[in-house]
Amino acid sequence: QVQLVESGGGLVQPGGSLRLSCAASGTIFSINVMGWYRQAPGKERELVARITSGGSTNYADSVKGRFTISREYAKNAVYLQMNSRKPEDTAVYYCNADVRVRVVTPYVEVWGQGTLVTVSS
């Protein structure tokens, strides 16, 4: 069974920075796309950023120029560097990955448990 474990959430002041980490563990043959989503109170979950196995990235318009997603392939890990934080960035952030556990199995989507990020003075 594959698990995604996030860390790095917490309270940050507006304009501040925070870095989220997510590591996949378990039986893993390969990981395709890894990404970060967030869900604010009363809102639907939305894509923040994603990165493919080839290193291609895309971002939500609301975070372009402020957030950077990166990946450490040897550790099956993905990171989200968040700068210039705004109060509207407050949300639970979820790690997501498309994982193949064996060469003959299809990719399946796996979610982390979420980590709360609060932007407030």
Nearest partner of 116 among 78, 97, 89, 77, judged by Cα: 89
Residue 103 pLDDT > 90, yes or no?
no
How many C-beta atoms lie closer than 10 Å to residue 27's C-beta? 10
Give the pair of three-digit tokens for residue 38: 């967030």
| pLDDT band for position 120 (cuts 50, 70, 90) | confident
Element (H, E) at 20: strand 18-25
Mean per-residue pLDDT over the chain, rounded: 95
Residue 11 has pLDDT above 90, yes or no: yes
Query: By C-alpha distance, which of 71, 1, 86, 88 is closest to 35?
Result: 71
Q: What is the CA radius of gyration of the chain?
A: 14
pLDDT at 73 over 90: yes
